[in-house]
Amino acid sequence: MSFTLAIVGRPNVGKSTLFNRLVGKRLALVDDQPGVTRDLREGDARLGPLRFTVIDTAGLEEATDESLQGRMRRLTERAVGMADACLFLIDARAGVLPADEVCADILRRRNAHVILGANKAEGRAGESGLLDAYALGLGEPVALSAEHGEGLDELLDVLTPLVEAAEARAAADAPETDVDVAEEDEDGPRVPTVDRPLQIAVIGRPNAGKSTLINKILGEERLLTGPEAGITRDAISLSLDWAGTPVRIWDTAGMRKKAKIDDKLEKLSVSDGLRAVRFAEVVVVLLDAAIPFEQQDLRIADFAEREGRAVVVAVNKWDLEDEKQDKLKALKDGFERLLPQLRGAPLVTVSAKTGRGLDRLHAAILSAYDVWNRRISTGQLNRWLGGMLEAHPPPAPGGRRIRMRYMTQVKTRPPGFVVMTSHPESVPESYVRYLVNGLRADFDMPGTPIRLHLRGQG
């Protein structure tokens, strides 16, 4: 069984164009007229190394017997039912229209796994719509240009773990070994179960101690399953009960490497690790206490942040340190200075060798996960925003007062917020940082990336 992706969205956003690009044949007609193709069509898609099935819902021509909306609803629901995930396209140039909302609504109600794509994003014309897209609350949009073939790498990045997971699922003959996925309801989509294990990736430079750490945890805890291989790539996952918490640890280079170490392999193992970040909910960035914050560490940590994962920084080989107090202080300073984007992320010292600190690591992971999932009510946010504005009003560039009227949380994992603002383009970056840092402090959200978008009213 192969992975199936449905491309959904209102007419004219570029579904067929993207379908054609993925399938590589002129299977679907493209036309300036909305929806010249009929109904659903299926094709074999290729994207980088991935092979999957793609469904196009382009058959949305104005029908005489049925409203466009009714038809869109019906087709979208059918496609959702057939697919493992939906690529929901909007037109980044047009922004979010009511018909997009209808579609978003269906996807939400059907609990579909949604990848949000903002198409026609080539050039600057697409930028505002891209921000608009956040407000749909369906996660971070992938900027695409189906016509120009842009954004396909990013699409590949988000699809890879999904396709791999589907293939791993298909390959596993013992269903009880896989708790991660998919309850299949009769006609419905595959819905990730709520109480699946917490997905953790341990990443870090070669020799930071990743495999020692994982083996230590394994040695002390109950292994539920594993290792399970990802089919298309080299990631391996292990499910275990870690101090009462079901977790799945994605390992990359760690367990397999040992064999050969040369430069090429080092590079490979790091990029392997980066890939594992995409499977993870919480990323443990493992540093070597003797040589923390090297360029590679910073890159890795930055990547985890940009991918929007909850992050815990673990400083390993703590058993080798003599001046622990001084060292800890230096580490915290270095962390503040070199990784400001991870401000407040928990920093724990561990010894993978002796096992010391693993309980603290466990606790830090759980709390980071919790924060990552946090949802703050709109009422609370607006009261808070009022206070922040009063304490420190936004500057008035050229005498033009900036108003911020309304704030809401549009997503979790990681938390994302939108603030309705009168002149979003005039708000300095420093003011956005003021708000983000304030959110972090006042709502106690350490260790999670916070996305805050200003949106114009209009």
List interacting residues with ligand GDP (CB under 6 A): 9, 11-17, 30-32, 34-35, 58, 119-120, 122, 145-148, 204, 206-212, 254, 316-317, 319-320, 351-353
Annotated binding residue 9: yes
Nearer to ligand GDP, 20 or 160 (CB): 20
Overall size of the chain counted in residues = 458
The CB-of-233 to ligand GDP minimum distance in angstroms stands at 18
DSSP 3-state helix, strand, coil percentages of the chain (rounded to 5)?
Answer: 40, 25, 35
The CB-of-310 to ligand GDP minimum distance in angstroms stands at 21
The CB-of-226 to ligand GDP minimum distance in angstroms stands at 17
Helix (H) or strand (E) holding 140: none
Nearer to ligand GDP, 9 or 447 (CB): 9
Burial class of 322 by CB neighbour count within 10 A (0 to 12, 13 to 18, 19+): exposed
Annotated binding residue 437: no
What is the rounded distance in angstroms from the CA atom of residue 421 to the CA atom of residue 396?
13
In angstroms, what CA-CA distances link 263 with 236, 290, 294, 449?
22, 21, 17, 32
C-alpha closest to that of 118 among 153, 94, 84, 82? 94
Nearer to ligand GDP, 195 or 322 (CB): 322
Annotated binding residue 14: yes
In angstroms, what CA-CA distances link 230 with 164, 195, 202, 279, 399?
6, 21, 16, 11, 57
Residues 6 or more apart in contact with residue 275 via CB below 8 angstroms: 160, 161, 233, 235, 252
The CB-of-116 to ligand GDP minimum distance in angstroms stands at 15
The CB-of-211 to ligand GDP minimum distance in angstroms stands at 4
Whether the CB-CB separation of 1 and 38 falls below 8 Å is answered with no
Nearer to ligand GDP, 166 or 217 (CB): 217
One-letter identity of residue 241: D
Helix (H) or strand (E) holding 442: helix 429-442
Annotated binding residue 15: yes
Nearer to ligand GDP, 103 or 371 (CB): 103
What distance, in Å, lies between the first and last C-alpha atoms of the chain? 46
The CB-of-378 to ligand GDP minimum distance in angstroms stands at 32
Annotated binding residue 344: no
Annotated binding residue 253: yes
The CB-of-9 to ligand GDP minimum distance in angstroms stands at 6
Annotated binding residue 120: yes
Nearer to ligand GDP, 190 or 257 (CB): 257
**In 10 A of CB 392, how many CB atoms?**
12
Annotated binding residue 122: yes
Nearer to ligand GDP, 15 or 309 (CB): 15
The H-assigned helical ranges of 83-175 are 98-109, 127-134, 152-171
- Binding residues for GTP, as ranges, are 9-16, 56-60, 119-122, 204-211, 251-255, 316-319
Residue positions in the annotated binding site?
9-16, 56-60, 119-122, 204-211, 251-255, 316-319
